[in-house]
Amino acid sequence: MLKRAFFSLITFLLLFASQARADNFTVDKVYHPYVLPFEREFEWRLTSRQNDDGNVLMQRFSFGHALSEFLILEAYVVGARDENEDFRVEGYELELRWMMTEQGQYWADWGTLFELEKQHNTDDWEVKAGLLTEKEFGQFSLTTNITVVYEWGETVANEWESEFKAKFRYRWLPEIQPGVEVYVAEDFIGVGPAFMGIKRYDRQKQLKWELGFIAGLNGDSKDHTLRMSLEYEF
């Protein structure tokens, strides 16, 4: 029954995503569907996108706190470099992740993602809802994110968008796990190498790092993104 409901949800999201638009797509992290019991975390993320319009540099700073064994709420401050090369606050985000199944309980692990974003200087809003999955094949893992987005406000048109992200990685060592990431949107397809690692300390304290370089496959135009992140969970 639960498995049938999961497949129905995936089918709906895929059909919806095929009709939705995705303007100004930004490469970002591929989410895993896991939550540690009552964890707290600090996270820093950076993306640097270079295309024919120039360079867009963005950073995110966040603090998250688990509300239960399966739910975590995270608050972000988003910053960006403006046309004067000054770094300023771009927006704010609230993110809720729900680990729907225990790890290894079913043929794949499942989670959901809900996000609300508000721009700093304009009355522009964005909401997201996504399905997160992860499946292990021996020492390999496949992680997927299917997300639908709705945005509205003062300077943006009311519209639906969609995103698909995937990561295929080799769990060589806990500290070093190479992989490949794929990002797909209406006007964007990006592929590139990525690396991640986890350094575990006492109890559930751990430091995660990620680094990826994603090349856009959009004809002859230059479009590539460097992304990195550090996350401390305790």
Rounded Cα gap, residues 109 and 122, in angstroms: 38
Domain boundaries, the chain: 2-233
Q: What is the pLDDT of residue 51?
A: 85
Query: 2-233 maps to which CATH number?
Result: 2.40.160.40
Long-range contacts of 115-118, Cβ-Cβ distance < 8 Å, separation of 24 or more: 117/78, 117/91, 117/92, 117/93, 118/91, 118/92, 118/93
Q: pLDDT for 73-86, tens place per residue?
A: 999 999 998 777 78
- What pLDDT, in 10s, does the model give residues 118-145? 999 999 999 999 999 999 999 999 999 9
Q: Report residue 33: phi and psi, to 5°.
A: -85, 20
pLDDT of residue 6: 45
Q: What pLDDT, on a 0 to 100 scale, did the predictor assign at position 4?
A: 55
Report the pLDDT value the prediction gives residue 73, as an integer from 0 to 100. Answer: 98
Cβ burial, residue 168 (10 Å; 0-12/13-18/19+): middle
User: Which tokens in the block code for residue 234?
Assistant: 């305790």
Q: Which amino acid is at 231?
A: E
- DSSP letter, residue 2: H
* pLDDT score of 117: 97
pLDDT of 31 reads 98
pLDDT of residue 24: 57
Picking from 212, 219, 217, the residue whose alpha carbon sits closest to that of residue 47 is: 212
Angle, CA of 21, 22 and 28, to the nearest 5°: 155
pLDDT of residue 52: 80
Residue-wise DSSP of 3-34: HHHHHHHHHHHHHHHHH-B--S----PPPPS-
Global pTM value: 0.87
Q: Would you give per-residue pLDDT tens digits along the chain (234 residues)?
A: 444 544 544 454 444 444 444 445 679 999 999 999 889 999 999 999 998 878 999 999 999 999 999 999 999 999 998 777 788 999 999 999 999 999 989 999 999 999 999 999 999 999 999 999 999 999 999 999 999 999 999 998 899 999 999 999 999 999 999 999 999 988 889 999 999 999 999 888 999 999 999 999 876 578 899 999 999 999
How far apart are alpha carbons 67 and 124 in whole angstroms? 28
